[in-house]
Amino acid sequence: MAKYTIITMPGDGIGNQVLPESVRVLKAVGFDADYIHADIGWDCWCNHGNALPDRTIELLTRHKLGLFGAITSKPNKAAQAELRPELQAGSYVYYSPIVTMRQKFNLDICMRPCIGFDGNPLNYIRKTTGGRFDEPHIDTTVFRQGTEGMYAGIEWTNPPENVRAALNSHPKFKAFANVPGPDLAVSCRVITRNATRRICTAAFEYAKKRAFKGVTICEKPNVVRETSGMMEEVAKEVARNYPGIALWSTNIDAQLMWLNKNPEEYNVIVASNLFGDILSDAFAGLVGGLGFAASGNIGDDVAVFEPTHGSAPKYAELNPPIVNPIAMILSAAMMLDHVNENGKADRIRTAIAGVVREGKVRTYDMMRIPGGARSIGQGAASTVQMTDAILEKLV
């Protein structure tokens, strides 16, 4: 009997191409696991009005570990239009299945490492004062609170009377008091002390483990005073438990400027849900883009690991597939770290680093050419060829 059971959820589009490649690599390093397929995503929504089926929830509840590929996600009106006709008269509401999964299993600690590989032609470079170029080594992990903030899902178009009455009790709402209901949309940003304490503690523990000098709390407390203010307040409380690690504070808008000036100075960043999402994509752009962007969604019992890229439907039907599988494979390595199979995880990352540094095998994104059916003919490696190259480097 295998030591672990992994629930594999390829989802939509290119998720079905990259997830099997990560399983190939896991098997090659000798990870002792069984793999159970579970449905998730757009087809589930269109055919059943539920993008996260009960069976998938049950499997994750039982086995605790998941690998997730990608999903297609659309605004609710567009989602309603794609339901099977017999379902469109029902009261179905589309919710992102990965957001629902995070909330269902309280996967509140979202880790998103953005780490540059030597030799990657997509790495960030900058001019020096002497007219030369400098390539800073970027080693940043964004700790994104995964269940609250702007992604809590508490929102309305045309708020009901009791909600509107509550809003009217705030003096700042006077400017909107006469807006007709159908013309008014409201989303609530919810932050709690306990969840903030957990994500801040996780960030400081990681900084301690990696011997980093500091943790940056990235919010907007000068404007979003209550929710960002609470994030900063709790971060300061947590920092007192780590006297050897500094706490720095930046505003989200300024941080996006500074990451293009001195990104190597920010090793650990903690942020609320939306800001963490923005930051992790921005930092990923400095180390190769979403083809290199892995993430882990970690709760007390269940953990799900995924690349941060989307389903890229325009590439999903290409044969051979052309998308970069490295983000998915790095996500699988994060899963190995989570279950203390660190040696196997390091072997995978070392193999990826070797392929990137050597530069003989590159997917279309690494070659800076347009993706499409012609990219293979222009010298780009296919999805499978990239995985093959990684497997050859495993030691």
Clarify whether residues 204 and 336 are in a common domain. Answer: no
Clarify whether residues 99 and 53 are in a common domain. Answer: yes
Clarify whether residues 11 and 103 are in a common domain. Answer: yes
Position 387 scores a pLDDT of 98
Rg (CA), the chain: 22
Clarify whether residues 207 and 138 are in a common domain. Answer: yes
**Separation CA 196–CA 232 (nearest Å):** 9
CATH number of the domain that 128 lies in? Answer: 3.40.50
* Domain boundary pick from 286, 317, 352: 286
Position 131 scores a pLDDT of 86
Note whether residue 114 is domain-resident.
no
Number of domains in the chain: 3
Clarify whether residues 318 and 300 are in a common domain. Answer: yes
Per-residue DSSP letter, 302: -
Token pair in block for residue 202? 């996780």
Clarify whether residues 365 and 229 are in a common domain. Answer: no
**Separation CA 212–CA 177 (nearest Å):** 49
CATH number of the domain that 84 lies in? Answer: 3.40.718.10
Note whether residue 21 is domain-resident.
yes
The four Cα atoms 318, 388, 327, 371 give a dihedral, to 10 degrees, of -30
- pLDDT digits (tens), the chain, 395 positions: 789 999 999 999 999 999 999 999 999 999 999 999 999 999 999 999 999 999 999 999 999 999 999 999 888 889 999 999 999 888 898 989 999 999 999 999 999 999 999 999 999 999 988 889 999 999 999 999 999 999 999 999 999 999 999 999 999 999 999 999 999 999 999 999 999 999 999 999 999 999 999 999 999 999 999 999 999 999 999 999 999 999 999 999 999 999 889 999 999 999 999 999 999 999 999 999 999 999 999 999 999 999 999 999 999 999 999 999 999 999 999 999 999 999 999 999 999 999 999 999 999 999 999 999 899 999 999 999 999 999 999 98
Position 129 scores a pLDDT of 86
Note whether residue 162 is domain-resident.
yes
Note whether residue 337 is domain-resident.
yes
Token pair in block for residue 114? 């953005």
Clarify whether residues 359 and 310 are in a common domain. Answer: yes
Position 395 scores a pLDDT of 84
**Separation CA 194–CA 71 (nearest Å):** 30
Note whether residue 19 is domain-resident.
yes
Position 48 scores a pLDDT of 94
**Separation CA 17–CA 317 (nearest Å):** 10
Position 90 scores a pLDDT of 83
Provide the domain limits for residue 391. Answer: 1-107+295-395
Token pair in block for residue 64? 């605790």
Position 89 scores a pLDDT of 82
Contacts of 155 (CB under 8 A, 6+ apart): 185, 186, 187, 188
Note whether residue 82 is domain-resident.
yes
Tell me the C-alpha to C-alpha distance, in Å, between residue 290 and each of 211, 283, 332: 27, 10, 15
The alpha carbon of 45 is separated from its chain's Cα centroid by a whole number of angstroms, namely 22
Per-residue DSSP letter, 361: S
Clarify whether residues 370 and 386 are in a common domain. Answer: yes
Note whether residue 174 is domain-resident.
yes
Sign of the torsion angle spanned by Cα atoms 115, 119, 125, 131: positive
**Partners of 115 in beta bridges:** 139
Clarify whether residues 274 and 339 are in a common domain. Answer: no
Clarify whether residues 80 and 169 are in a common domain. Answer: no
Token pair in block for residue 126? 């900058």
- In SS3 terms, 38-63 reads as CCCCHHHHHHHCCCCCHHHHHHHHHH
* Domain boundary pick from 259, 286, 313: 286
DSSP readout, 304-335? EEEES----HHHHT-SS--S--HHHHHHHHHH
Note whether residue 116 is domain-resident.
no
* Domain boundary pick from 286, 308, 325: 286
Cβ contact 216:264 at 8 Å? no
Clarify whether residues 96 and 223 are in a common domain. Answer: no
Q: pTM (2 decimals)?
A: 0.95
Clarify whether residues 102 and 226 are in a common domain. Answer: no
3-state helix, strand, coil in the chain (%, to 5): 45, 20, 40
Nearest in space to 139 (alpha carbons), one of 283, 282, 354: 283
